Structure 1
């Protein structure tokens, strides 16, 4: 189990604390959705193939509210702080050559499982 007091006080640590406070078990797997803003649909499809090879499930969609094309990169994983940081670094490095920008992550958690 993650020691909530030992988590850094940054955006990622804050989200993990909030997940735990909402009844999610941080020692159990959950689907994490990382969001990558891409410049166009073609780049999104290309990046989708690349992240698939890295073990993520791609889902490309148009965010009308923000007027952006977003590639969700989903992965079943433990919501571990360092694993989340590592995944964000990896996805950011994969996205950069295609003009993609990592735009955070989210999850529906596992409280209802």
Structure 2
């Protein structure tokens, strides 16, 4: 299977090599970095209004705020890029930005 040579493509390639089934929907966590709790709550509302299932959390060590959005989906490069762009658009008015994604591998 061929993957683009950018960061997202490399993560997909790694998941493929780990044996993740690309024909079955996976739980994908998308991360949206936000500057503070207030901005995070605004981003959270905006994302939920658009149908995303998200939670806002603060890292105990770094004290950084992040919205975590869980989407069950097929691992498709174009769809992952599109979701990150949408998260960027929705969070930008509150100084947030899409900050990657991950899949838990068992």
Same fold (TM over 0.5): yes
Confirm or deny that 1:104 pairs with 2:90: no
Match of 2:41 among 45, 57, 66: 45
In structure 1, what is the Cα distance between the partners aligned to 2:64 and 2:84?
A: 19
Matches within 5 A, 1:5-84: 5=2, 7-84=3-80
Normalized against structure 2, the TM-score is what? 0.91
RMSD (CA atoms) = 1.3
Mapped partners of 1:68, 1:37: distance in 2: 8
Report the Cα offset of residue 46 of structure 1: 1.5
Q: Which runs of 5+ in 1 are unaligned?
A: none
Shift of 1:101: 1.8
Shift of the alpha carbon at 1:67? 2.8
User: Residue in 2 aligned with 1:85?
Assistant: 81
Instruction: Write the distance in 2 (CA, Å) between the matches of 1:17 and 1:53.
Output: 32
On the 8 A contact 1:55/1:75 being kept in 2, the answer is no
Q: Secondary structure at the match of 2:99?
A: strand
